[in-house]
Structure 1
Amino acid sequence: MVKLFLFFIIVALVDSASYKPVFIIHGIMTGGDSMEGLKSRIEEKHPSTIVYATHRFEGWSSLENMWHQVEELGNDLLNMSSQYSDGIHLIGYSQGALIARAILQLYPNHNVKRFISLSGPQAGQYGTSFLHIIFPGIALKTAFELFYSHVGQHTSIGNYWNDPYHQVLYYNYSEFLPYVNNEKLSNGSDIFKLSLIKLEKLVLIGGPDDNVITPWQSSHFGYFAENNDTVINFKNRDIYTKDSIGLKTLDAKNKLVIVTVPDVNHFMWHKDIEVIDKYILPYLD
């Protein structure tokens, strides 16, 4: 009887240890506490899993320059992951999903196994539905005047504002998104690609009823065509066809997962139990 009891104890310990630690990065104008629902659900369904939701760059500080956030949070992630030789998983929500992806690209020595991008503006943003909370007087067609300036590039939003009607200014002024997407080559271009290819899984989650990420297909690397509002599927964009950051390579190896979920508002992705159970937890196993 004692031997049987010890057997079950050992099995339970091995089972709980099989779940890798999870690092979560919150969205803009929020903080670590906003990810508590997601964190708690992971801990409930995967007992003994170590889940860390960062409290860095909360509230107004989430508007700081993207490179600064990537470097600071990247150091945190590397410090955490160094304690787990078998690797960790990474989840980023909204702006945090773009930050998370850039961390992986900037730090090729990461040991992240699976990265889940939860409604992140991976191809950029061209919509003001959430901007009015921060910039109440801003208009969509004139936002480029602020964001494509030296002042505007000090803001996180300016760093990934991708105006399809002002692409020349986007490439001339944007200090972040064109580089991490390898639209503009840099000394880090090769590393930016190789760092993503290391992943076991890249999971891109988004949906047509998001109402914040614009176009919503940006969560899958789709985006507007230049000078019009037609959305081009990511597989027909240069970022995929030219394999600029490794999406095509990941896809060919069945490591790229595209998830489209209707009827989910942007502010519910990390709170919706069905989304968490169906589209996040399976990739943390």
Structure 2
Amino acid sequence: METIPVYNDVEIKPPHKPVVLVHGLMTGDVTMLELAKQIEEMHPGTKTYVLNRFCGWASLEPLWKQVLELGPDLLQICSQHPEGINLIGYSQGGIIARGMLESYPNHNVHTFISLSSPQGGQYGIINFIIAKCFSSIFPNLTLKTAYELFYSKMGQDISVGNYWYDPYHLDLYLKYSKYLPIINNELETSNSSNYKKGITRLKRMILIGGPDDGVISPWQSSQFAVLNENQEIVTVKERSIYKNDSFGLKTLDEAGKLMFFTVIGISHHEWYKDKSVIDNFIIKWLD
């Protein structure tokens, strides 16, 4: 019988496969260190990697630039661990992580955890820093007029613009957005087949979000839902990207590899440090 060591009444569990963490908008590797520490303490011997590029202001760089620089880092870590790794992306980092999985389909990521990430896009709170930066050019920047900025060449040079999803201007979204409709396979590209390959090779995709987030809007975007023109939520299974299995969500779901978790009472900046979230919805599902 295997003996599991106990220290100060805390069960010490075997190590997990290595864990790679990707930070969010206007944050950096420091914000992910707490989560990495928790994982290492609960599962001694687990190796963690906190990606340290595009921190702070640099997180506003276009998402393709971030994906193409972070992707090789991810593949290098994968090559060091042929047994496979886990990947956690928080907030904007989750949609960057998905871009890496799709763009580098030869990865060996087993579990991908999307932690309060706008996988369906953002249509709500406009980052106050962005509003301040562009106030002289767009003095009346509001939710209803944000498309004028984000669906432009200038707006697509801002990371948020790359996943802005305005239900009232979907024609402009498809015409100007350079990231979200591409990784959703809503637009045909030379890499379209790779995107699905990169997702379907996952052993598990976990989508975590909740109604008290306060930043991701709508919060159901963390589970690939979007708003329609009537301000109604369109769930992932009602969307064409699921029905057409555009990049593999339906394949994962039908194989029992797509999991949704809705957690109440957690604000956006608590996801990566709340102990109950870490214990029950992150560490619990790592390989």
For normalisation by structure 2, the TM-score amounts to 0.91
Contact residue 22 and residue 90 of structure 2 kept, 8 A: yes
- Any idea what the Cα deviations from partners look like across 1:203-256, whole Å, max 9, x if unmatched? 00011111111111110001111x231111111111111111111111111101
Alignment match, 1:112: 109
1:96 to 93, 98, 115: 93
Alignment match, 2:230: 228
Distance in 2 separating the partners of 1:253 and 1:191: 19
Report the count of equivalent residues.
271
Alignment match, 2:155: 152
Distance in 1 separating the partners of 2:217 and 2:72: 30
Contact residue 125 and residue 216 of structure 2 kept, 8 A: no
Are positions 1:169 and 2:172 aligned together? Answer: yes
Alignment match, 1:252: 254
User: Could you list the runs of 5+ residues in structure 1 that have no partner in the other structure?
Assistant: 1-6, 10-14
Distance in 1 separating the partners of 2:80 and 2:33: 23
Kindly provide the amino acid, as one letter, of the partner of residue 173 in structure 1. Y
The CA deviation at 1:132 is 1.4
Aligned pairs (5 A) from 1:116-265: 116-129=113-126, 131-136=127-132, 137=135, 138-225=141-228, 227-265=229-267
Distance in 2 separating the partners of 1:218 and 1:92: 14
- Any idea what the Cα deviations from partners look like across 1:80-135, whole Å, max 9, x if unmatched? 11101101100000000000011000001101111000011101000125x11332
Contact residue 128 and residue 139 of structure 1 kept, 8 A: no
Aligned pairs (5 A) from 1:67-106: 67-106=64-103
Alignment match, 2:29: 32
Distance in 1 separating the partners of 2:274 and 2:20: 19
Give the 3-state SS of the residue equivalent to 2:107 in structure 1: coil
Distance in 1 separating the partners of 2:199 and 2:102: 6
Kindly provide the amino acid, as one letter, of the partner of residue 148 in structure 1. Y
Give the 3-state SS of the residue equivalent to 1:191 in structure 2: helix
Kindly provide the amino acid, as one letter, of the partner of residue 272 in structure 2. H
Distance in 2 separating the partners of 1:208 and 1:239: 23
Could you list the runs of 4 or more consecutive aligned residues of structure 1 that deviate by over 3 angstroms after TM superposition?
Answer: none
- Any idea what the Cα deviations from partners look like across 1:1-50, whole Å, max 9, x if unmatched? xxxxxx989xxxxx74x520000000000100011221111011010111
Alignment match, 1:4: none
Distance in 2 separating the partners of 1:254 and 1:210: 26
- Any idea what the Cα deviations from partners look like across 1:40-91, whole Å, max 9, x if unmatched? 1101101011111111100000000100000111111111111011011000
Contact residue 25 and residue 92 of structure 1 kept, 8 A: yes
Which structure features the higher share of helix residues?
1
Distance in 1 separating the partners of 2:264 and 2:244: 29
Contact residue 165 and residue 228 of structure 1 kept, 8 A: no
Distance in 2 separating the partners of 1:133 and 1:39: 28
Are positions 1:65 and 2:62 aligned together? Answer: yes
Give the 3-state SS of the residue equivalent to 1:24 in structure 2: strand
Contact residue 197 and residue 250 of structure 1 kept, 8 A: yes
Kindly provide the amino acid, as one letter, of the partner of residue 222 in structure 1. A
